[in-house]
Amino acid sequence: MKIQLRSQHPSKQIGLPGGPLELSWKVLGAHSGDTQLAYEIQSALDSEFSVSLKSDQAKSNASQYVKAPHVPMESREISYHRVRIETQSGWSDWSETLVHENGLLKGAELIGSAIGDDSKATDVPPLLRTSFEVTKPVAKARLYATAHGTYDVMINGAKAGNHILAPGWTPYQYRLLVDTHDVTNHLVEGENAFGVLLTDGWYRGKMSFFNLLDNYGEHTSFLGQIEIDYEDGTREIISTGTNWKTATGGVRFASIYDGTTMDMTMAQPAWCKPGFDDSAWKPVIERQIDKTLLEPLAAPPVRVKAELPMTLRHEADRVNLDGTQNISGWVRLTVDGKRGDKVVVRHAEILLPDKTLHTAPLRAAKATDTYILGKDGVQDLEPKHTFHGFQFADVVTEAKVVKAVAIAITSDNPDRAEFESSHKLLNKLHSNVLWSLRDNYVSIPTDCPQRDERLGWTGDAQAFIYAANTLVDENAFFRSWLKDLASEQTNDGKVPHVIPDILEMQYPRLEGGNPFPDNGAAGWGDAATVIPWAQYQSFGDVQILRNQLVSMRKWVDYFSDQCVDNVFGEGIMQLGDWLDPDAPEDKPFLAKVSSRFVASAYISHSARLVARAEELVGTKENSVKYQRLSDDVATATWNLLGSEARKTTSGCSLALEFRICPEAEREAVAAELAALVRKDKGAISTGFLGTPVIMDAMSQNGYFEEAYSMLLREEIRSWLYPITVGATTIWERWEAIKPDGTPSTGGSEGHAPGSEPSMISFNHYAYGAVVDWVYRNVLGLTSLAPGYRQVSIAPRPTKSIEWAKGSIETGYGKYSIDWKLDGSKLHAKVTVPFGVDAKLNLPVTEASTILVNGETKLNGEVLSHGSYDLDVTHAYVVSR
């Protein structure tokens, strides 16, 4: 038996926040039939478990988010934790040891002052440097660093760590993150160089479709220190301060939207190496960073996820590159040229029919990297502190393009799930959703990675959250973002459209003020309630409900205050079922279902989630109050708006999934929904808010035929159609590329002067929400209790899919299935992890028999952990 232990924090990350450690473990290789009867957790300050040993034993089967006996509260403290469990076979061995290292828990422990130069936004970004001596043997060394702006720290010529765009994007006026790196191996005896490249980043770079600079301030600055613990027990801190020097180098311009300009003839190649003469450099300028806002990074940072070779197609005046996958990132280009040669790389998500880059959807984002070569010969080129959303690029240069690699970046959430089937297009859909997730989780959950936007749109994150939770383990990522959501919420509870709320900061600077006055938007503001609840469901994380309860309540109070007689007020601007394909192209908020119905349905839904959260971590009284609100709004809404809403697919779906229509009418509403879908031959007619719920609204009510007709449809207005015209990610609009290959204009008001009016991204994940349904229904890996404590084995095969296999790495271990159809016989191999009960919910007809490892069983019976061979005769097979 083997036990794998982890905490709530990303594994292998150091410099974490202090406070309670929530431990979860997976048990591998337990005897069949054994269960966890008790656990023991030990914590200590040494790996031998002898210093300050603390131990907790409990007769309990809990294994997820269990508090460690030692609470690491000291800055820099390294603590060690392990667990063992008792089963019917006795006590296990200890798990592998989990090592937890705290960061600096008080901002003031970064002892230096923040430093920068006199540059302005879009100016040449500064290099900062100092040097120091190491004269004694080093036991260990840590770098703690943060910035107003984005930075790379270079020690003796090499980048410290592999974080990209550090310190990431948070509402800098409330919270600024500190990254920690182990830099022991960077240090050398004698002189050492400590250098920083500091760029505008999100802090003062061009942001949002208003394309404004200086959003958080006019000056970039860096604050950091290297702490050296010597073998003789002494500590030395090399911190930022007025003794540092500044100059500029090869990086002449760096912007997240626009790209990088690098003139390597101006580079100072040895600037961050020992022995460099910086006497010509200027003194730095001291700047202010409020140290009380500093916090250790607790979410996974942005890192490189993949390197994809690009194909080269040479034309007379350019070289065209294709990475075969739409990504967030950049091109690493190898060229053979001469000093002074210019290389210009432009990016786009798709090609126009004439094979040129389609850059109109980028709007005002230039997404162009420019280089001037600093030497002769073969050399690699990579931009700094930018990212582009692209599959294609073109290169204009007098140098020879030798090779190109697309570098894909993402917030480094571990992959959690696998899916494969005999249906090639469905496999591609799965891949496209996963890539849209990766491409759009860049420090925060964004809407799109390519145009002058890339903002933390709450509605997109909300619509996609269950799919995201199924695909990757991003609980730490969302714990962090939800913290920012709560801090950006107004006192009266309004949740901004985007987190961090860059728009609110920009409105006062616009002529005429806020062009989009809002009272909160249903489905967007509901990120405050839906996401914490989803995290609890998908990961079993109760703490996130405790963290967010006040924010959840405040949102429901704020939004429901706009009800008149328990129905959302009339005439209040809403985003509604955004991008309903039948809405006018330039008015994406004009969906078929009324936005008043949608807002009321969301109030009822969110109030129910708050009621359930109150029951778990709040008060009974509140739980009753919010449940009553939920019921009252549902009843009044259905009475007033139900008859109109049920004429639309989104209206029916929300009514069923959010329980707006009374029990007695469910059957009729479901039948009406199914009829609408049949009439449209499975064509999708829902927008951002209807799409995530329509498949369940059908299948939960028995309409699998209709659900599959929609899922597997290949004509336009479907999930698979984009794939037939080459999509490698999920589109913002169902009809983004027409069957004749021409892209839609995406007619919507462009906000930046000089940019085409266009709202058409080829990489928006909201519609990818369907993948969660695929896991639960095609594979049949369904969770019945928070964190997959109980699951059901519930595949619903259909004729077009001969086999499917996949898994979800739950907190308990891997839950997997591998099924195939042989006529009407279904055979499946299933693995249920330790600690999980799996209920049989197999696709049966009256004539079916179920065999589990050769033994007859009935649906509803429960299997404990282990591997099973399941056979179903006369299975129920959907005819699609």
Counting residues that bind ligand BGC (by CB under 6 A) gives 10
**Sole window of 95-103, 306-314, 455-463, 486-494 interacting with ligand BGC (rule: CB under 6 A):** 455-463
- What six digits make up the tokens of 598? 């949608």
First to last CA, the chain: 44
Distance CA 845, CA 843 (A): 7
Distance CA 738, CA 637 (A): 38
Beta strands in 61-162, from DSSP E residues, in sequence order: 66-67, 78-87, 90-91, 98-101, 114-116, 127-134, 138-148, 150-155, 158-159
Q: Is 104 exposed, middle or buried (0-12, 13-18, 19+ CB in 10 A)?
A: buried
Smallest distance, Å, CB 447 to ligand BGC?
4
- Tell me the C-alpha to C-alpha distance, in Å, between residue 157 and each of 154, 165, 262: 6, 19, 18
Smallest distance, Å, CB 494 to ligand BGC?
15
Distance CA 711, CA 695 (A): 8
Window 527 to 586, contacts with ligand BGC (CB under 6 A): 575, 578
**Sole window of 196-204, 232-240, 402-410, 445-453 interacting with ligand BGC (rule: CB under 6 A):** 445-453
Window 266 to 325, contacts with ligand BGC (CB under 6 A): none
**Sole window of 456-464, 479-487, 770-778, 858-866 interacting with ligand BGC (rule: CB under 6 A):** 456-464
Smallest distance, Å, CB 257 to ligand BGC?
14
Q: Which of 347, 605, 612, 764 binds ligand BGC (CB under 6 A)?
A: 764
SS3 45: coil
Q: Which of 195, 224, 459, 835 binds ligand BGC (CB under 6 A)?
A: 459
**Sole window of 16-24, 283-291, 435-443, 454-462 interacting with ligand BGC (rule: CB under 6 A):** 454-462
> Is 815 within 8 Å of 788 (Cβ atoms)?
yes
Smallest distance, Å, CB 487 to ligand BGC?
21
User: Within 13 Å and on the Cβ side, how many CA atoms surround 348?
Assistant: 18
Q: Is 726 left (phi over 0), alpha (psi -120 to 50) or beta?
A: left
Catalytic residue among 101, 453, 488, 706: 453
Smaller CB separation from ligand BGC, 167 or 588: 588
Smaller CB separation from ligand BGC, 187 or 572: 572
762 touches ligand BGC by CB under 6 A: no
Catalytic residue among 474, 488, 657, 732: 732
Smaller CB separation from ligand BGC, 447 or 809: 447
- Tell me the C-alpha to C-alpha distance, in Å, between residue 504 and each of 208, 489, 490, 497, 510: 11, 11, 11, 9, 11
Smaller CB separation from ligand BGC, 261 or 359: 359
191 catalytically annotated: no
Smaller CB separation from ligand BGC, 572 or 640: 572
Smallest distance, Å, CB 516 to ligand BGC?
8
Smaller CB separation from ligand BGC, 13 or 211: 211
Q: Tell the residue number behind the tokens 């994406």, with chain if given.
A: 588
Smaller CB separation from ligand BGC, 65 or 457: 457
Window 2 to 41, contacts with ligand BGC (CB under 6 A): none
Window 121 to 150, contacts with ligand BGC (CB under 6 A): none
453 touches ligand BGC by CB under 6 A: yes
Distance CA 5, CA 26 (A): 7
**Sole window of 108-116, 435-443, 451-459, 602-610 interacting with ligand BGC (rule: CB under 6 A):** 451-459
Distance CA 178, CA 17 (A): 10
Q: Tell the residue number behind the tokens 């405040």, with chain if given.
A: 554
Smallest distance, Å, CB 473 to ligand BGC?
24
SS3 631: helix
SS3 807: strand
Smallest distance, Å, CB 394 to ligand BGC?
25
Q: Which of 387, 457, 602, 765 binds ligand BGC (CB under 6 A)?
A: 457
SS3 163: coil
Smallest distance, Å, CB 575 to ligand BGC?
5
Smaller CB separation from ligand BGC, 34 or 460: 460
452 touches ligand BGC by CB under 6 A: no
Check whether the bond before 515 is cis (ω within 30° of 0): no
Orientation of helix 458-471 relative to helix 424-440, angle to 10°: 120
**Sole window of 270-278, 363-371, 446-454, 677-685 interacting with ligand BGC (rule: CB under 6 A):** 446-454
Smaller CB separation from ligand BGC, 408 or 522: 522
Smaller CB separation from ligand BGC, 3 or 730: 730
Where would I find the H helices in 590-662? 595-617, 620-645, 649-657
Smaller CB separation from ligand BGC, 692 or 833: 692
DSSP 445-458: E-S-SSSS----BH
**Long-range CB pairs of 802-806, under 8 A, 24+ apart, other chains included:** 802/422, 803/421, 803/422, 804/419, 804/420, 804/421, 804/422, 804/423, 804/778, 804/779, 805/418, 805/419, 805/420, 805/421, 805/779, 806/417, 806/418, 806/419, 806/420, 806/775, 806/779, 806/781
Residue 757 CA, distance from chain mean position: 28
Smaller CB separation from ligand BGC, 457 or 819: 457
Smallest distance, Å, CB 459 to ligand BGC?
4
Cβ atoms < 10 Å from Cβ of 851: 15
**Sole window of 244-252, 424-432, 447-455, 858-866 interacting with ligand BGC (rule: CB under 6 A):** 447-455
**Sole window of 347-355, 453-461, 472-480, 499-507 interacting with ligand BGC (rule: CB under 6 A):** 453-461
Smallest distance, Å, CB 752 to ligand BGC?
12
Window 720 to 759, contacts with ligand BGC (CB under 6 A): 759
732 catalytically annotated: yes
Q: Which of 439, 460, 501, 672 binds ligand BGC (CB under 6 A)?
A: 460
**Sole window of 65-73, 235-243, 452-460, 714-722 interacting with ligand BGC (rule: CB under 6 A):** 452-460
Cβ atoms < 10 Å from Cβ of 584: 11
Give the nearest residue (CB) to ligand BGC.
Answer: 447
Window 505 to 524, contacts with ligand BGC (CB under 6 A): none
Fill in the DSSP letter of residue 775: I
> Bridge-partner residues for 308, per DSSP?
406
Q: Which of 198, 345, 448, 778 binds ligand BGC (CB under 6 A)?
A: 448
Smallest distance, Å, CB 209 to ligand BGC?
7
Smallest distance, Å, CB 476 to ligand BGC?
24
Q: Residue type for 773, please?
A: W
Distance CA 500, CA 485 (A): 7
Q: Which of 227, 447, 809, 871 binds ligand BGC (CB under 6 A)?
A: 447
Helix H or strand E segment including 694:
helix 691-699
Smaller CB separation from ligand BGC, 708 or 765: 765
Residues 6+ apart with CB under 8 A from 668: none
Distance CA 274, CA 133 (A): 10
Q: Based on C-alpha coordinates, what's the Rg of the chain?
A: 28
> Is 562 within 8 Å of 586 (Cβ atoms)?
no
Judged by the rule CB under 6 A, the positions of this chain that interact with ligand BGC are 447-448, 453, 457, 459-460, 575, 578, 759, 764
- Which residues participate in catalysis according to the annotation? 453, 732
